[in-house]
Amino acid sequence: MIKKVAIYCRVSTEEQVKFGVSIEAQKERLKAYAKENRMEVVNEYIDEGISASTIHKRPALVRMLDNLKTLDLVIFTKLDRFSRNVLDANNLIKTFDEANCAFKAIDEEDSDISTADGRFMFNLKVNLAERERLKTSERIKTAFDYKVNQGTVLTNSFPLGYKVVEKRLVIDEETADIARTAFKLFLENHSKRKTLFEINKIFNLSMKYTSLNLLLKNKLYIGEYRNNKDYCPAIIDIKTFNHTQALIGKNVKLPPSGRIYLFSSLLKCGVCGCNYTVNHSKGYSIYRCCGKREGKCSESKCISEIKLEKYLIKNFKLLLHDFVLKIEEEQSRAKTKTPSYLKEEQAIEKKLTRLKDLYLNELIQINDYKKEYNKLTLELDKIRKSKANQEQIKNITQLKELLNSNIENMYNGLSKEKKKEFWLTAFDYIVVYSFAEMNVFFKY
C-alpha cells in the first residue's frame, strides 16, 4: 500500500542569511526521498523565515497538525527543522500518536519514535537543539546589552531628531526642532490631534497620528534606551517628558468652547468605583458619579469644582506631608527586612528543572507536568514581582522640595490650563467618599 505523506520545511531568516539554508533544497531532497520509497506526496507545508522556538508561531505546522488523520507519514530533513523546544516536541509526539500518524527525519536514521531507544534519541537531540537555541539567544542578548551600554546603535531605525555618526546617535539639529515643538504644543493644548495638525502645518509634513504618539512616548528623547539612561544626547528634559507622559496617561482633551475642567479624569467614587463626570451649568462646573446615572451607585452628592479646588489647595501640604511620611516608613521597613525572595526564587527554579527531567524520562504524564509547571511558574512570578517591588528605590526628593515651597502663591499665578496640568501631574487619582472624606493618591 502506497503511503500518503506530507513534507514539512522550515528555515529561519537568520539561517537563510548566515548559512544559505534554502526551502527549495529541502523540498527537492524530500520529494526525491518520497519518490525513491514509493510514497505519495499529498501536501507540502512550508514555514519560511520562522524560528523553531514554538509551535504556535509556525502557521504551516499548525495547519498540518489539523490534517494528520489524512496522512500516514510526515517527512522533513532534520529534527531541528521540526522542533527545537522540548515541551513542544513531546506534545507533537502525543498528537501524532493520537492521529495514528508517524514522522521521520530523512537525514537522521535514529529518529524512529516507535521504539524506546528511538524516543530517547529524539528527546536527547531536541534537548541539545533547544540548548543551542537558548545559548544563541543568550549570546545575542549579551552582545546587544553590551552595545546598549556602550551607546552603540543596534539598527538603522532611529527617531526624528537624531542621526547616526560613527555608530552612535547624535542630535540632528535640522529635525530636532520638530520633536521639541511637538512636546511643547502638546503640553499647551493637551490634544494629540491638534498637535499633529499644527506640526504638519508648521513644518510642512505629513506625519501620521501613530507616529506622533510614538514620538511623544519615546524615551530616547531624554537620552534613555533600555537600561542605559545615558545612551544618547537628550533633546527633551526629563521634567517636560514626565509631564507629557502624565497627560498622555490621562488621555486629556480640552473641552469645546474653551472650557477647562480642572479635575476631569482624576475623581473616582469611593462607593462604586466609577469615574466622576463633569457638567457645566450657569457658570459652575459640577462633578457627579457616573454610576449614579446608570443605577450602579447610591451616592447622589455632587462636588463643586470651586469648593474642591479651595479644599485641595488649603490641605495640599498636609496631604503631601502624610504621603511622604508613609513612603519614608515603607522605605525604612524595607531596609531592615532581610529579603527571602532570593532563596525562594532559586528553590523554585531547581524544582522546575527537576520537573522537566521527570517528564523527559517519562516518569510523569503531560497533564501532571503542565499542572505542576503552571503552579510553580505562578509562584515564581509572584516572587519576582515582590522582588521588583522591594528593590525599587523611591526618590522623594522632589516631593520634599515641593513641601518647602509656597504652593498657594505659585498656584494662584498659573493660568487655568497650567492649573489643570498641575493637578494631573501631582495626582494619580482622588477617591471621593464625601466632600469631607477623600483619599488622595499622589503620582510617584
What is the rounded CA–CA span in Å between residue 337 and residue 268?
34
Strand ranges in 25-131 using DSSP code E only, listed in sequence order:
40-48, 73-76, 102-105
* Helix, coil or strand: residue 191: coil
DSSP letters along 285-343, please?
A: EEEEEHHHHTT-------EEHHHHHHHHHHHHHHHHHHHHHHHHHHHHHHHHSPP-HHH
Q: Tell me, yes or no, if 285 is annotated catalytic.
A: no
- Homologous superfamily of 4-139: Resolvase, N-terminal catalytic domain (3.40.50.1390)
What is the rounded CA–CA span in Å between residue 305 and residue 225?
41
User: Rounded to 5, what percent of the chain is helix, strand, coil?
Assistant: 55, 15, 30
What is the rounded CA–CA span in Å between residue 387 and residue 187?
35
Cell digits for 70? 489524512
Give the residue range(s) of CATH 3.40.50.1390 domains in the chain. 4-139
Query: For residue 217, what pLDDT is reported?
Result: 92
Asked which of 26-30, 260-264, 391-395 is least confident by mean pLDDT, the reply is 391-395
Model confidence pLDDT, tens digit, residues 179-229: 999 999 998 887 888 899 999 999 999 999 889 989 999 999 999 887 788
Asked which of 51-55, 126-130, 161-165, 337-341 is least confident by mean pLDDT, the reply is 337-341
- Homologous superfamily of 162-254: Putative Large Serine Recombinase; Chain B, Domain 2 (3.90.1750.20)
Share of the chain above pLDDT 70, in %: 80
Cell digits for 278? 463633569
Cα Rg of the chain (Å, integer): 31
Q: Which is nearest to 199 in space by CA: 95, 191, 307, 428?
A: 191
Q: Give the chain's end-to-end CA distance (angstroms, integer).
A: 73
Model confidence pLDDT, tens digit, residues 97-147: 889 888 888 887 656 666 667 667 777 777 776 677 667 666 666 766 777
Asked which of 92-101, 213-222, 251-260 is least confident by mean pLDDT, the reply is 251-260
Higher-confidence position of 21 and 166: 166
pLDDT at 176 over 90: yes
Instruction: Map grid coordinates 552582545 to a residue.
Output: 143
Asked which of 23-27, 140-144, 184-188, 231-235 is least confident by mean pLDDT, the reply is 140-144
Contact predicate 417/429, CB 8 Å = no
What is the rounded CA–CA span in Å between residue 111 and residue 235?
58
Instruction: Map grid coordinates 470651586 to a residue.
Output: 306
- Angle at which helix 209-217 crosses helix 238-249, to 10 degrees, equals 130
Give the residue range(s) of CATH 3.90.1750.20 domains in the chain. 162-254
Predicted TM-score (pTM) of the model is 0.40
